[in-house]
Structure 1
Amino acid sequence: MKHVAPVGVLLAATAFLGVPAYAEKAPVGGNELGERGIIAPTGVKAPPKTAAKSYVIADADTGEVLAAKDPHGRYLPASTLKALTALTLIPKLDKSRKVKPSSRAVNEEGSAVGLVSKPIYTVEDLFKALMLVSGNDCAMALAEANGGLTETLKDMNAEAKRLQALDTVAKTPSGLDKPGQSSSAYDLALIARAGLANADFRRYISTKTDKFPAPKGYYEIGNHNKLLWRYKGMIGVKNGWTSKAMGSFVGAAKRNGHTVIVSIMRHDGYFWDDVADLLDWGFATRGKITPVGRLVDPLPAAAPMPTGPTTPPATPPSPAPRPGSTGAAPASGDGSPAAVPVGLYVLGAGLLGGGIWLVYGMRRRSR
């Protein structure tokens, strides 16, 4: 008995830390999705083999995960992270706004569309080049248009949390490798599904070729997603590659009124055929099997704070002080009575209980 902590102390610690005692968090989307190997339904042909370390095949219409492999494994996302960049910034930026990229944006390393520091680009031009040719320079220019890199990363990570893409941590808007940055095949599927519901996002990712502004005229750019050119019903989304992340891809295709999403991560070779095979399996299987999990819905958006002048609520009359009291309550920083968090009451009760238990134990020893 003397080695067991008092219940009051355990309850106090639970309230203070804000987590349930002894609780284990279930994987987002279902318990089966916590497995690291291949997760497939029974009664049908197994999903095709792929060199990808992680993948998800999902029905975009119902959110059902049809099959997966290490779906919550955290890997470097490379340029697939640009899907989150676009999804985050499209609602925030006026697509007709003119942008003059900084020298930092113009000189961003890696894949680029070839920006110059002149105000010849609209936000829409930058989004197109971001998603078609994976312009890292465009990612930085869009971040600057959104108030800077710090603000944009804050917004991206907030959007990931809203989507419940909890494996995703954005450290760059471009997806260039950086310590601590991560995503998962499950999260990429969530991001793609949310993006498909946005008309501008869908238009950008499905564009095959477009004209991009130049100091004198324009030049043509083409989408790097090879399946847009050769897979029937391909809508698009984003592919990526770096030497550390290796190959990654998230995409969606529509056939016979149904949309299937496939995401892969850490593929060490030519992945386009693998993705096509996984899509084929998804179309052949959807609606015929018990799903192994589900793409969860985004959390509801927080209610906007009032921006105009408001009439303050009437202040209720203060109750008369009890006999023997001073009639005063502890004040907060604005002069109003301060509320004491319930957790502090629990913590105090727990510590008091622990002290009594300790004194009781010492008295027993002295006897």
Structure 2
Amino acid sequence: MKHVPMIGALALAASLTFVVPSPAVADAYDNPPIGGALLGGRGVIVDQTARKLPKTEASAFVVADADTGEVLAAKNPHGRFLPASTLKALTALTLIPKLDRKKMVKPSQDACNQEGSAVGLTPRKIYTVDDLFRALMMVSGNDAAVALAEANGGLPKTLADMNAEARRIQAMDTVAKTPNGLDKPGQSSSAYDLALIARAGLADPAFRKYVGTKVADFPAPKGHYQIANHNRLLGRYPGMLGVKNGWTSKALGSFIGAARRDGHTIIVTVMRHEGSFWPEVQDLLDWGFAARGRTAAVGTLVGPIPAAKPTRPVGGPPTPAPAVSRPADAAGESSSAGAAGVAVIGVAALGGLAWLGYGLRRRRSRGRGSAQV
């Protein structure tokens, strides 16, 4: 590893905004959160030499480069919140590889009776898995989510699969209690995890197709009708790929967005937004494209956990795969912007020096509350 002069190291550290976690956060230096020690903070985290961040009313957000994995800016990235329908992105990520898209499905009456946003299923065997994935990701069909879970062997199995997939991609703040994101105690995700889910999903051509489809025909007992994507930026924001919006009265607004320009993809996630987040997401995407390659990363979107290959010693049991530690909560579901216990410090403080090596490496490597929608 090339040595960096101390003066240069200090200069780089001085350009970053360092956040000291509150006592509710685990020691960020002995047990840093996934993605980097700075991401344990609840305030805005960004390179102070970067252009000014746009304003957003979201309680948490992440702006990340999907190609390099660099987190360019964030606010309370590991704070846990109700995800609303953005959880459907995990449902799709989990089930797309498991289900035959040509399989015909007859939804149960329970699936058809799901409250909130729905595509309007009937208990007839007229839908393919492919149809249901379009309904899930285009019109946020709560009924389609349950029908897909039934096609996968039922709700308990599907929820176990979803939580296993979350662990596999290291989305450790995420707990799925429903396949559709309708509010349920104990269900959670974070802005960081939603970015991980989006990045993993966009690597799958089928996922990209579902989230990027603007209009499609959908089966009905007599013929078809047309459904349209709920993502208001699709077809309006240059390069918009998808991914998923969500809202409940408890979760408030949440969104996962991704756009691609000049061969590069930027991901923006927001959680717990009280108003209309669409213009703010556009501004954050614009900022991300302008900052990419010019702004020091404050963290990274980690990759999936490699598949374990247990070894069997002669005459002994298989050696277990190493355990993956779960990061401490950055905030509870009731977290909000401006939580107490956060301070911004300069280069002379311990937080900056503790994360200094990470920043240098990144520099060198860079070249139910109610109805839901």
Partner of 2:170: 164
Following TM superposition, by how much is the alpha carbon of 1:338 offset from its aligned partner in structure 2, in angstroms? 9.1
CA distance in 2, matches of 1:24, 1:287: 30
Q: Secondary structure at the residue paired with 1:229?
A: coil
Q: Does 1:227 align with 2:217?
A: no
Partner of 1:28: 34
Q: Give the one of 247, 264, 269 matched to 2:270.
A: 264
Amino acid at match of 1:36: R
CA distance in 2, matches of 1:152, 1:301: 20
Gaps of at least 5 residues in structure 1 are 1-22, 305-312, 317-336, 342-367
Does the 8 Å CA contact 1:163/1:298 hold for their aligned counterparts? yes
Q: Secondary structure at the residue paired with 1:227?
A: coil
Q: Does 1:175 align with 2:181?
A: yes
Following TM superposition, by how much is the alpha carbon of 1:78 offset from its aligned partner in structure 2, in angstroms? 0.1
Following TM superposition, by how much is the alpha carbon of 1:44 offset from its aligned partner in structure 2, in angstroms? 1.7
Amino acid at match of 2:82: L
Cα deviation, 1:51-109, whole Å, max 9, x if unaligned, reads 00000000000000000000000000000000000000000000000000000000011
Gaps of at least 5 residues in structure 2 are 1-28, 321-373
Partner of 1:297: 303
Partner of 2:221: 215
CA distance in 2, matches of 1:54, 1:287: 23
Aligned residues: 289
Amino acid at match of 2:237: Y
Partner of 1:189: 195
Following TM superposition, by how much is the alpha carbon of 1:303 offset from its aligned partner in structure 2, in angstroms? 5.6
CA distance in 1, matches of 2:243, 2:307: 24
CA distance in 1, matches of 2:153, 2:306: 25
Following TM superposition, by how much is the alpha carbon of 1:42 offset from its aligned partner in structure 2, in angstroms? 2.2
Report percent identity of matched pairs.
Answer: 69
CA distance in 1, matches of 2:255, 2:43: 19
Following TM superposition, by how much is the alpha carbon of 1:45 offset from its aligned partner in structure 2, in angstroms? 1.5
Partner of 1:308: none
Partner of 1:18: none
Q: Secondary structure at the residue paired with 1:127?
A: helix
Amino acid at match of 1:128: R
Calculate the aligned-residue CA RMSD, in Å: 1.9
Following TM superposition, by how much is the alpha carbon of 1:25 offset from its aligned partner in structure 2, in angstroms? 2.4
Following TM superposition, by how much is the alpha carbon of 1:301 offset from its aligned partner in structure 2, in angstroms? 2.8
Amino acid at match of 1:243: S
Amino acid at match of 2:272: R
Amino acid at match of 2:181: G
Q: Secondary structure at the residue paired with 1:88?
A: helix
Amino acid at match of 1:238: K
Partner of 1:348: none
CA distance in 2, matches of 1:301, 1:93: 21
- TM-score, normalization by structure 1: 0.76
Q: Secondary structure at the residue paired with 2:235?
A: helix
Does the 8 Å CA contact 1:40/1:46 hold for their aligned counterparts? no
Amino acid at match of 1:251: G
What pairs up with 1:296-335 in 2 under 5 angstroms? 296-302=302-308
